[in-house]
Every structure is written in structure tokens, then in C-alpha cells.
Chains A and B, each alone.
Chain A
Amino acid sequence: MAFFNWIKAKLERCPPLVDRDLILRLTCLFLVLHAEKLYFPPVAKGIFPVFAIVVCGLMLAFPILLRSRVPWIVLSLGCWTTILTNWNLIDNHLYLIGYWVLACTLSNFSANPVEILRTNGRFIVGLSFSFAVLWKFMSHAWLDGSFFYMISLFDQRIGQLVAAIVDDPPVWSSTLVQLKAFTMIPDLGLKMEIPAMHSLVTLSRIACYGGLTLEILVALLFLLGRPRFLLKLRDYFLVAFCLGAYMLAPVYGFAYVFSIMGLAQCGNSRTWTRLMYVLLFCFAIVMSHVATAGVGRLID
């Protein structure tokens, strides 16, 4: 305990971690490190990463540019041109990146840039989780657990984890073969119906309802600040969601952006929480490189 108190005292003596420059630097660092790994349609793939690395690299090399409006306007224009010209092909975390880069740009026009970043961080996290929750309620496959059941069969990475948990490997393998065959060479007039594995049904429902509960809590706490008694835990819920969800379906673009936005909306006095977001950012760096080396491009 004394050790932790010592670290906390040291950290509190440091200049505030959440200052504007740190947020802007992390945003640039993220784009330098990750732009090349983002999924783009063929035309944008050759252009956007180079563009983002050059603009962000310049801002990192010459910090005076971080508070200058022009590079951020250029970066925003580049991001939104890419997003709007490929609006129905790109992944949702590219939209999040676009929103965040735009928020950084607008903060440079404000008399109170820190407040702009803080408010936008909170709202973007809250709204993106709200729409994710809304979609899950509208989905025919989420509330009965069938989404997770299917994804565990189709997605190799989730499947490997689930295969270790379910208690009947032969049934698992047989179901997997039948479903793969059905979807690879489908007979579009047929409805396939096979017995579900009890253990996987239970696991699927726990995963679906657990994930949904966590998303609802993050949405409510970030957007409305309700329920109040859980308000202090909102950052932990967000980090828990990122670690849980993106370990299963490693979409590290989300983890990166959420760690930066989480840090931006977090008050200066919350030393441990700030440290937690920085560690989440580091986790995303490490994991995205491990995943790229081992698995290749991941779903969505």
C-alpha cells in the first residue's frame, strides 16, 4: 500500500497528464502508428495512411504545429474526404477517428480548448455506445443470444476460445462443419435446423446480456451522468468493455480512440484513472502489433 501511495504522490507532483498537448499528441501518435492498419477500400488504402502519417508526423516533430489550426484542418479534410467517399465500405471506428480529429480541430478555434475536448470526448463515447445499444435492441439475433452463438462458430478467434469452454468438442466440430458448408455453398431455399449445444447457448446468452448491460451503463453514465451512484465507475466500465470486447474481437482502432477520448474527458485530479487510460492506449499499441503479426486483418 505504501508503494502505491508513493507512486500516487509522485504522479500527483507531475504536471497534469490531461493537458491539451498530451491529448493532441496521443491522437497524432495513434494515427502514425495505426493508420496503415486501418481497413480501406483499394483506392483510399494507398493514399490515406501516407497522408495521415506525414501530417501527424510533422505535428509530432514540430510541437508548435499541434496548436496550429492549419494542420488540423488539413487532417480533418483528409479524414472526412476518405470517410465520405467510402461511407458505406469503411468500418465504424474510422467514423470515430473522424469525429475525434474534427473535435481536435474545433478545439483549436475555441477560447477554452480543454473544455471542448472534454465535452466531445464524453459525448462521442456516450453517443456511440447509445447507438450500439439501440442497434442491439433492434437486432433479431442479439436478445435471444443467437448472435454470439453464430459468431463463435464463424469467427476463428472467438471460436478457439469458446471451443475450449464448451463441453462437447465432437458436437462442436460437427456443427461447425454443417454451418460452414451451409454458408459457403448455401441452398438459398432451405432452412437449416440443428440441435444447439446447451453449454454454448448458456455462454452466448451470458455474453450477449453481459455485453449489453456494460454498453448500457457506459452510454448512460457518459451521456447523462446517471445512475449517479455509479458515476465514479464509468471509466472503469469503459476500460472493462474495451479489454473484454477487444480481446475477443480485437478491433484495436476502437480501443485506441476510446482510450484517448476517455483520457480527454477525465478530470485532472483522477490520477489512477488517467494512468489507466494511458495503459489502455499502450495495450492497444502492443495488441494491434501482435494481432497484425499473428492473425492478419480482423473482422470489421
Chain B
Amino acid sequence: MKVKERCLMYAVPGLLCLIALNQIRLSRTDKLVAWKGGGFGMFSTPDHPTFNRLLQGHGKDAQGREVRIMMPAAVSVKADWDSRWEQARKYPTQENLSASLQQLKDASISPMILPLEEDDPARNLRTGTSPTDVSQIMLTGTRYILVPMGNGRKVSDFLSTVGMDVWELRVQLESGRIKVWYELIATSEGINASKS
């Protein structure tokens, strides 16, 4: 067989192997989600990028208390935010986390779950939306804020630093019990959230 014919015949399978092997490498080194990237890892892990990989913001308010910011999964928001957050969720490199962090810093937030303390400045950001069931969150002692519904105030209005974490759902079926937990797979350093 001529060289040209051989190239035409095997070019596509060769390209497929290169992309798939690279996807496996990136999933090991940079935590690229198994479902994406052309490696045919869909339906092999439970960390579905939209439903079971969590992007979570964290920050500190003016008093230095920790605030956690729960990012919406699969919520229609502004396209560029959605895309950046999707990037960070599916491929959480420092570059993607930093880009989404910048977006978070400038995002408008509408807290749905009130902080516990009376004097917390975030309490003033209440927009009238209330959680249907806060008992579970109250028990954890962590204050959550849901972002971004677009009609609240800027994150930088009440947080001094913001950072970003990506968590992956893990499942284990063992001795008649199912164990479910989240594992931290990537985190970014907190950045100054002030407007300047």
C-alpha cells in the first residue's frame, strides 16, 4: 500500500488515540473531568461535571469570619460567567480557577440563607428569598450564600478576600452500605475582593 493511502487510512485513528491519551493524562494531572475532553470516560465516574462536581467560593468578611459561597450548578446565568464557571468545574487548572474567581469577585449575589449572627453585614443583603429548609445548614454552622441571581450586591461589597474550591463526588458501595462524600480536588488562593 502506498504511503499516502496508509496515511489517509490511519490518520483519524491516530488522532483519536492522541486526544484520548492526552485526556487521560490531563485528568490525572489537572483533574479534567472524565466525562469531557474526548477520552470516552463518560458514564465511568459519578462526578458528572454539571451535577456532581461542585464549585464553591469561600471568603472572609470584614471581621475575618469565613463565608462559603455555593455556586449554582446548571443555572442559566450570563453566558460568559457560565462558560468560565463551567471551565473551572470541568477543568480546574489554576488559570481557569483564577478566571472564574475574577468573575465571582464582580458577581452580584442574592443570599438565600441568612448568616447566624445578628451583626453580620451579609444579613443586610437579604433580598426576600428564603430557603425552604435551612435546618441542615444551620446544623453545620457554616453560612452559605447562593450566587448569582443577578439582582443582589457585589461580593466585594462585604467580603475582603475570595477564593475558589472544586469538590468531586465520591461513592463507594461496601458491605451493604453506600458511602457518599466530597473530596477537594482543586483550590485557588484567596484574592483581595475589594473594588480597587
Contacts and interface: CB of A to CB of B under 8 A. Distances in A.
Binding partners A and B: yes
Interface of A: 41-43, 83, 87-92, 95, 99, 102-103, 106-107, 109-112, 115-116, 119-120, 123-124, 127-129, 131-132, 134-136, 138-142, 144-147, 149-151, 154, 175, 179, 181-183, 185-196, 198, 201, 204, 245, 249, 251, 299-300
A91 B19 contact: no
Given A149-B178, A186-B54, A196-B176, A131 B20 contact: yes
Contacts of B143: none
A186 B167 contact: yes
A89 B19 contact: no
Contact of A149 (B17, B41, B171, B182): B171
Nearest to A94: B38
In this complex, the member of B32, B37, B43, B87 whose beta carbon has the largest number of chain A beta carbons within 10 angstroms is: B43
* Main SS class of interface, A: helix
Contact of B13 (A120, A136, A185, A193): A120
B72 to A, nearest CB: 11
Contacts, number: 197
Given A146-B171, A300-B42, A300-B48, 18 more contacts: A43-B83, A87-B37, A89-B86, A107-B8, A110-B9, A116-B8, A119-B9, A131-B24, A136-B44, A141-B44, A141-B45, A144-B174, A147-B171, A183-B52, A186-B167, A191-B181, A192-B180, A251-B42
Nearest to A132: B40
18 contacts: A102-B12, A103-B12, A110-B9, A123-B12, A123-B13, A123-B16, A127-B20, A129-B40, A134-B24, A140-B45, A147-B171, A154-B51, A179-B180, A181-B136, A182-B180, A188-B182, A251-B42, A300-B48
Contacts of B41: 92, 131-132, 135, 139
Contact of B177 (A43, A127, A194): A194
Given A136-B44, A300-B48, A88 B184 contact: no
B16 A299 contact: no
A7 to B, nearest CB: 35
B195 interface: no
A127 B5 CA distance: 20
A129 B42 CA distance: 11
B158 interface: no
A132 B44 contact: yes
Contacts of B54: 186, 188
Nearest to B175: A196
A110 B177 contact: no
A185 B91 CA distance: 22
